[in-house]
Amino acid sequence: MSSLSSMLKNPWATRALVLLVAVLLVAAPLMLPVFANQTLVRVGVFAVAVLGLNIVMGYTGVVSLGQIFFLGLGAYVTAYGVTNDWNIVLVFVLAILIPGIAGLLVALAAARLGGLAVAMVTIALPIVGVPLAKRLSYFTGGSQGVSARFSGAPEWTGLDDDQWQFYIVLVIAAAAFVLARNLVRGKFGRALAIVRDNEAVASSMGISPYRYKVMAFTIASMFGGVSGFLYLVAVQYTSPETLAFHHSIELLAAMVIGGAGSIVGSLIGGAYYVFVPQITNVIDANLTAVIQGAILLVVLFLLPGGLVSLPRVVRRLVTRARGDRSHSSSPPPRDPSQDDAVEHPQHTERQGNA
């Protein structure tokens, strides 16, 4: 474990590992079956959604229970643009901007409120979004939803549809993760961490908690719009069910289990969001919610930092075990008085005669 961590500290080793992962991801859709490609595409979609939620909650500490609303809004914008034959690049930009503007308006009103009040405001988004999507049938297709088939593979690529969709999601999701990594590791990310830890300290340092909360919430909503666009790439259909509140809770659970305040944890959270329901449905469809709740509780008790903290916890346990083993194998401490008695036996005997 220590050799692995020391190897990863080497920049050349890190670059080689990144290159290897990139090659595997590029080659994967050409070797995997259709179902596997579609599953991995969905992991990428929801990893971006969890990433946005992580920026506002994990890195900023602002409670948001409405991330699924921005995913659904991005999906509806994409579907409307595609069905009206808009340029796909314009559709992609609008799928980011419109959720971003909506998030900005919500953040301007909610960022001054306390934690519970912010939670109540964000809870209202998917609750209001579902009936609103049903009512605005001209744009949304009403309760029936709307289909948008635009991600078929062009003939010149020689790829199947699932492979083409895989590459679209891979490129956009990779760009989103690189952008998020640069944001949280720079000056902006350090300011978010100060706001999360102590708003009074942030204010004394000239950092406006209100401003940075608004910015974080807006960025998170834009990431939600990106995931909505990718959702249409993968599923090619959306309906009011996409906006349902329970999906927001599942995204929140995925973020916590993957690791709050972690870029890699967002990717793990996306995988959890897709794979765990499939596994629990195979075990017992009636116990899906119970099993997922049990998994959440176990992770919270054993790994409060999420699954991303597992290697760190294992390394700490191994280090502690080695320390205990070396301590138990070392000889007991010697008594200095006995050393004196050995070195000066005549003096000890003289004291006894006296």
Q: What is the pLDDT of residue 348?
A: 44
Greatest mean pLDDT among 92-101, 255-264, 291-300, 306-315 lies in: 92-101
- What integer pLDDT is reported at residue 330 of this predicted model? 59
In this predicted structure, the answer to whether residue 50 has a pLDDT above a threshold of 60 is yes
Residue 225 half-sphere exposure toward CB, CA atoms < 13 A: 22
| pLDDT number for residue 320 | 81
In this prediction, residue 109 carries a pLDDT of: 83
Render pLDDT for 240-278 as a digit per residue (tens, 0 to 9): 999 999 999 999 999 999 999 899 999 999 999 999 988
Domain limits, the chain: 31-244
- 82: its two tokens: 């595609």
Question: What pLDDT sits at residue 234?
Answer: 94
Is 326's pLDDT higher than 80?
no
**What is the residue-averaged pLDDT of the chain?**
86
Least confident of 111-125, 311-325, 329-343: 329-343
pLDDT tens figures, 139-166 = 999 999 999 888 888 989 889 999 999 9
The predicted model scores a pTM of 0.86
